[in-house]
Copies of this chain bind each other. A is one copy, B any other.
């Protein structure tokens, strides 16, 4: 371990230079959704290629129909004895709008010290994902510069379209399956439990969504002339949506809970021990009472339980004032978050039956499914790489690493499993107040520093 201590010391001593590199990277406005920033995206990819080439990687920009991928290899040992990891991050960023809410320009990174004495770096992409991916590269830099011997074989993949839906990724993975399929993927795009407690995200909810339109009368009707006799599609739709949950907050669709596992006792104990403050979590968005299934904590509700939510609803007159019509149509967009072995197709089928049972004989229902269903994903908490990473994180932070859930989905994890046949270990150092996708995005310098140290520990531990 003396070797590793040298590496960690080098990371500490090189922190200022690492931050300056991060600032250089953050100045490139690699907004992937905006065609005006096409050159900037390429420039950000090339910046990574240059950094990695300098470290001895075989690195290149690889063209796609959209923004280029960065692929870089560092092979220690061709035999199968040395593990081979795939690291993933993305160099593109969200658009910075609304610009006038930023305290300093989004692509002119600024370091500021908060009232709590913590230093932070403010810029678009500081946390998502430039700061995070650079923790990995800066760890590598320290290890390679120190000629550290315990390194795995490494393939790095950086995408430039993550913030615009990754349209080229699946094709690229399929076309380069051989080159990219290795023992395990490491992904740095998630968060810690809190500023002092490291975490590995092992549960990602799946999703299926559906649009439902109820048609009553063939045209909007005068509610005076027809009101009473004509069925109102909003009444039909409201009844359907109201029936979706019972008085305990459970979803009432037949078979909805098929494949939903009970939480293992050990995990539940760990989560309970986190003393998650649901009041604070909900208070931040103006709520106070967990709205999910009774008998489950708020954390269970968002990490390990499935949901049904209306994302949007519309029908009839939506302007100012009044227009006394009976609408012809009413539409709701509904999404289900899935866990465990819930089958998206079965959920969709049973939801449609549920709806049809509630549509009166003279109303019509139309479903508009636009694809994008994905089952939930879990990475086994006893996966060797998960256990190794957890130990390394615990050593770095002096706090037990938490096995977290994530209420949303991270599609790359599904793609790695389906296309490359690999599990992913999701380790990240983001905090819930990083304001990713919002004005004044920031990354704590402590996250950056301890993140870099953590990757050195994890990489070292993976080859022990």
B-contacting residues of A (Cβ < 8 Å)?
205, 207, 209, 211, 215-219, 221-232, 234-235, 237-239, 241-245, 278, 281-282, 285-293, 298, 301-302, 305-307, 309-318, 321-327, 330, 332-333, 335, 337, 360-362, 370, 372, 406-409
- Asked whether, in the complex, the Cβ of A324 is within 8 Å of the Cβ of B301, the reply is no
Contact for A309 among B218, B227, B360, B409, CB less than 8 A: B227
Contact for A224 among B231, B301, B321, B408, CB less than 8 A: B408
Residue of B nearest to A408 (CB): B224
25 sampled A-B residue pairs with Cβ under 8 A: A205-B224, A218-B285, A222-B408, A223-B311, A224-B408, A227-B309, A227-B335, A228-B407, A229-B292, A229-B302, A230-B282, A232-B291, A232-B310, A234-B332, A235-B242, A235-B244, A237-B238, A242-B243, A287-B362, A289-B360, A309-B326, A311-B316, A312-B317, A314-B318, A324-B335
Contact for A316 among B237, B244, B310, CB less than 8 A: B310
Contact for A229 among B226, B278, B306, B317, CB less than 8 A: B278
Q: How far is the CA of A228 from the CA of B461 in the complex (A)?
A: 37
Residues on B with beta carbons closer than 8 Å to the beta carbon of A211: 322
> 7 other contacts beyond A238-B241, A309-B326, A313-B316, with CB at 8 A cut-off?
A215-B286, A221-B285, A223-B311, A235-B244, A238-B238, A312-B325, A313-B315
Task: State the 4 A-B residue pairs at the shortest beta-carbon distance, nearest first.
Answer: A224-B408, A218-B286, A312-B316, A242-B242
- Asked whether, in the complex, the Cβ of B229 is within 8 Å of the Cβ of A370, the reply is no
Closest beta carbon of chain B to A319's beta carbon, Å:
8
Q: How far is the CA of A68 from the CA of B410 in the complex (A)?
A: 67
Residues on B with beta carbons closer than 8 Å to the beta carbon of A318: 312-314
Q: How far is the CA of A229 from the CA of B156 in the complex (A)?
A: 36
Copies in the complex: 2
Q: How far is the CA of A301 from the CA of B228 in the complex (A)?
A: 5
- Asked whether, in the complex, the Cβ of B408 is within 8 Å of the Cβ of A231, the reply is no
Q: How far is the CA of A317 from the CA of B311 in the complex (A)?
A: 6
Residues on B with beta carbons closer than 8 Å to the beta carbon of A313: 234, 238, 313-316, 318, 330
Q: How far is the CA of A59 from the CA of B430 in the complex (A)?
A: 82
Residues on B with beta carbons closer than 8 Å to the beta carbon of A323: 311-312, 333
Contact for A227 among B245, B307, B312, B321, CB less than 8 A: B307
Q: How far is the CA of A362 from the CA of B409 in the complex (A)?
A: 27
Residues on B with beta carbons closer than 8 Å to the beta carbon of A285: 217-219, 221, 226, 230
- Asked whether, in the complex, the Cβ of B335 is within 8 Å of the Cβ of A322, the reply is yes
Residues on B with beta carbons closer than 8 Å to the beta carbon of A241: 234-235, 238, 242
Q: How far is the CA of A287 from the CA of B318 in the complex (A)?
A: 23
- Asked whether, in the complex, the Cβ of A310 is within 8 Å of the Cβ of B234, the reply is yes
- Asked whether, in the complex, the Cβ of A242 is within 8 Å of the Cβ of B238, the reply is yes
- Asked whether, in the complex, the Cβ of B207 is within 8 Å of the Cβ of A282, the reply is no
Residues on B with beta carbons closer than 8 Å to the beta carbon of A332: 234
Given A242-B238, A316-B313, A333-B316, A372 and B322 touching (CB < 8 A)? yes
Q: How far is the CA of A215 from the CA of B314 in the complex (A)?
A: 16
Residues on B with beta carbons closer than 8 Å to the beta carbon of A315: 310, 312-314
- Asked whether, in the complex, the Cβ of A209 is within 8 Å of the Cβ of B324, the reply is yes
- Asked whether, in the complex, the Cβ of B224 is within 8 Å of the Cβ of A409, the reply is yes
Q: How far is the CA of A84 from the CA of B288 in the complex (A)?
A: 67
Determine which residue in A281, A285, A293, A327 has the highest number of CB atoms from chain B within 10 A of its CB, and name it.
Answer: A285
Residues on B with beta carbons closer than 8 Å to the beta carbon of A290: 228-229
Residues on B with beta carbons closer than 8 Å to the beta carbon of A222: 407-408
Contact for A235 among B310, B321, B372, CB less than 8 A: B310
Residues on B with beta carbons closer than 8 Å to the beta carbon of A239: 238, 242
